[in-house]
Amino acid sequence: MGLPYGGAKGGIKCEPWKMSIGELERMTRRYTAEIINLIGPDKDIPAPDMYTNEQTMAWIMDTYSVNVGHTVPSVVTGKPVSIGGSLGRQEATGRGVAFCVKKAIKHYVLDGQSPSIVVQGFGNVGSVTAKLLHESGHKVVGVSDVFGGIHNANGIDIPRLLAYVSEMGKVEGFTGSKAVTNQQLLELPCDVLIPAALGNQITSENVQNMRCKIIVEGANSPVEPEADLWLHKNGIVVVPDVLANAGGVTVSYFEWVQGMMHLFWTEAEVNGRLEEIMNRACEQVFELSSKSGLRPRMAALRIGVSKLAEAKRLRGLYP
């Protein structure tokens, strides 16, 4: 993506859905106190991931700020807008996935005026992706969450489904659709499959049942390495997570920049800059993949590693 960011994961092993707000706050603040020497606006900048949200980021920012004696908005990203967060951050990952889907459909020239989409995972990423693709005229034929999935070959009314989920808490039981399991959902016939839930969903055991043309990884590592090789050999394109779900970290970068400058952008500016970066990255990866015969995953990694290698060569080794 060309961002001046590294990347890492860290967290706490717990069951947050069983915890009260007070328990979550005390745990988050204690965790922040434990790692406080490792984080900072010029060191390591946490952002929300699974079972964390803008409230979690607000607690981390406040704990850090109290310890250094002044407010430091850029110590985290994904904060509430009212305390220095960026407009467009909450939808950024899903929006980036949607941009990638559109570029992939265009590059690989799928037939039909309304390509069919299946989305596994209807959380923050999957629901935003489904909503944006539906608005663009794409036909979302399958959706699932942790409780199960639904399928309608003629297309699901995503705005109605969003309203239903906000009331019922799950997609299961939505009228005008057929119930399917998460495994059945992955194997539905479609143009584009978007696994946007957990890792290791497409494995060597179920990969031969895939009936899609393109897979766009909305989650982290949803396709196992062996399955990735099989898909490539059998002509199913996999748009890798390092590219497809990078919208979140890109707008996190925007939020960090805005916080450092104390100058905030409109949502249209944020979305426009995100689209420009995502489109450029997609074009580079798809073009290299097509020319070299590399899987898109390897093409993306070659581009990324070559940038690091060039920077290392130019800077040299000292002392």
Catalytic residue among 9, 18, 233, 291: 9
* Residues 63, 116: Cα–Cα separation, whole Å: 46
By DSSP bridging, strand 139-145 and strand 116-120 are parallel
Per-residue tokens: 211: 């009936």
Residues facing 238 on adjacent strands: 215
Q: Is 233 a catalytic residue?
A: no
Q: At what angle do helices 267-292 and 92-107 cross, to 10 degrees?
A: 40
List, edge to edge, every strand of the sheet that includes 116-120.
Answer: 178-180, 148-151, 139-145, 116-120, 192-195, 214-216, 237-239
- Say which residues have a Cβ less than 8 Å from residue 66's Cβ, sequence separation at least 6: none
Helix %, strand %, coil % of the chain (to 5): 50, 10, 40
**Which segments of the chain are extended strands (E)?**
116-120, 139-145, 148-151, 178-180, 192-195, 214-216, 237-239
Per-residue tokens: 263: 């100058």
Tracing tokens 């942790």 back to the chain, one arrives at 146
* Residues 169, 235: Cα–Cα separation, whole Å: 37
Question: Which active-site residues does the annotation give?
Answer: 9
